[in-house]
Amino acid sequence: MRQFIAVLFLSLSALIPVIAHATPITYTLSTTASGELGGVSFTDALVTIAVFSDTADVTSGAGYIYNPGTGGANLSVAGFSPTTFSSSMDVFYLYGGSYYVGIEDELGPFLFAEVNNGFAGYGLTSALGPLTGATNQDFGTNIDTPTAAGNFFLTSDSGDTTFTATLDSTASPTPEPSTICLFGTGALVMLGTARRRLKA
């Protein structure tokens, strides 16, 4: 009996969930640009977008990596009160010939990106920057992106873009849901087996 209990204990211990090192991350892009916010035009103003997410949310595809910005996003335009975006803002990394990191609305509009060879090999999961490079010119011209202060769009840029990614190193690691399910299932099976043996 003691031997069986020892085996049961060791088996359950092996099923303790592995801790996923998912860490909150903030991506910040800033540039000098012209456009409109809440129906009011601005010219050559400093525009800063901060997207909040988690390293566990990063997804890869053919020639790109992106993070859906599950923690929301803030917008700051010089001369305006800071505001928040109403829809999720994705951070993307494109590679192949040139290297881009940029921000787009999940609903479609592409805001702006930085082109910089310093992004080579960057997976959106680590701290980086500040890194300054050329601003991508392919704006979603006059395509509205909703914010709490009204619609926002850019029409042109007049300076480079600076990118920074910072990790929240104080956050506690979170157990992955799949390992928690595995632990629960294993525990139930082992306990059921133990009960049947004790009855026999």
The per-residue pLDDT for range 156-191, each reduced to its tens digit, is: 888 899 999 999 866 444 454 444 444 445 444 454
**How would you classify residue 20: left for phi > 0, otherwise alpha for psi between -120 and 50, otherwise beta?**
beta
In a domain, 187, yes or no: no
Number of domains in the chain: 1
**Residue 196 has what pLDDT?**
57
Q: Is the peptide bond before 146 cis (omega within 30 degrees of 0)?
A: no
Residue 191 falls inside a structural domain: no
Bridge partners of 133, per DSSP, are 161
Q: How far apart are CA 78 and CA 6, in angstroms?
A: 66
Structural domain includes residue 74: yes
55: domain range? 24-167
3-state secondary structure of 91: strand
Is residue 86 one of the residues assigned to a domain?
yes
8 Å CB contact between 45 and 78: yes
**Which parts of the chain sit beneath pLDDT 70?**
1-21, 108-109, 137-142, 169-200
pTM, entire model: 0.74
